[in-house]
Amino acid sequence: MSNFPLSYRLSWLPRLVKPSLAAGGRRFGPIEARWLQPRQAVRLLFAGDISAVASREPPEVDPSLCALFEAADLVVANCESPVVERPAFPVATRLGLRHAMTPAFVGKVLVAAGIAPARLVLSLANNHALDQGPLGFERTAEALADLGARTIGAAAKGQVQRIDAGPLALGFLAFTQWRNGGAADYAGRVAMTKDVAGGFAVAPSVDVLCAMPHWDREFRHFPQATTRALAGRLTGQGANLIVGGHAHVVQPVERMGQTLVAYGLGDLLGTVMASPPWPLRIGALLSVEMSTDADTWGRVAAHRVIPFLRERQGRRERLRPVRPEDRAAALVSRIFVPKTGQTAAKQL
């Protein structure tokens, strides 16, 4: 039913127990860099996957992280679980074999993080999109709309969906490489890689094209060569910004020409299990500054990756920034190049 290769399935458990740091000796981009000094800019904040697998209670979020959510003109994340009042497959959902979260849980998460629903965009293009069946997929879009959030990645809405952030018109191209069910169920519902492989139409009114692929392999801190090749093709087709997901661990960023590529931000809320290996408890936010100056309109001016930890506190998680003394800090330093100044960043 799914399209995961056998080699991927066989490596799933070993990589879950010990996520891979194999990178082929390549160094990627800086954790923070500035390329432009615009007088005016729009701030986008990207987060990773959101699910209720690890906790049925909303998280406690550090005030410094809440401040980032509150200051963003637009917050973008991946909705890793269908949003339904009651699961269509209760036993499998209870066992963690299928994902689901309630509208009430999502609403409480937004309040806890300080995310205004009107400034929230959630991608539905992921391998768990049909975990509660086709009707669950439809109910998810309805439930999120009722909360005030906008969604991307539904095939019926077209390849590129326009969403404005301040004066900028953003075009979101969300799609998934992977599916947990049959191709016929996903066809016409969830945007897939094959749907954009031959190209895509972007309206002239769109200032910035942002690709949101659900790609690569889980529990690997560095992207595969095929993933980087796909990023290159998206860049060649006009993507200004690429922010991926699916790996459940933090992955690097890099600059491809004028395009910023963030391969994966891990989980905003735990999507695998309640007590995963510690590397899976590291997530990241990505703050991107987009210029709205006339001469650099729509270009990436700066980015900053903010790593955080998801700590277990009883029935909920606590999200706080990674500190220099944390064990996680050493891992983060292996993934990201240190902060880079404007001159050096231009050479990437």
Indicate the SS3 state at residue 6: helix
Residue 5: exposure state from Cβ atoms within 10 A (0-12, 13-18, ≥19): exposed
Task: Please provide residue 193's backbone torsions phi and psi, each rounded to the nearest 5 degrees.
Answer: -55, -40
Fold of 6-345: Purple Acid Phosphatase; chain A, domain 2 (3.60.21)
- For the cut 90, the answer to whether the pLDDT of residue 3 exceeds it is yes
Binning pLDDT at 50, 70 and 90, where does residue 25 land?
A: low
pLDDT digits (tens, 9 = 90+) for 241-294: 999 999 999 999 999 999 999 999 999 998 887 788 889 999 999 999 999 999
In this prediction, residue 148 carries a pLDDT of 98
Indicate the SS3 state at residue 33: strand
pLDDT digits (tens, 9 = 90+) for 173-194: 999 999 999 999 999 999 999 9
Binning pLDDT at 50, 70 and 90, where does residue 344 land?
A: very low
In this prediction, residue 341 carries a pLDDT of 56
The residues, any chain, with a CB within 8 Å of residue 85's CB and separated by 6 or more, are 102, 103, 139, 143
In this prediction, residue 346 carries a pLDDT of 41
In this prediction, residue 24 carries a pLDDT of 61
Rounded mean pLDDT of the chain?
93
Alpha carbons 151 and 136: distance in angstroms, whole number: 15
pTM score, two decimals? 0.95
Residue 319 CB neighbour total at 10 angstroms: 21
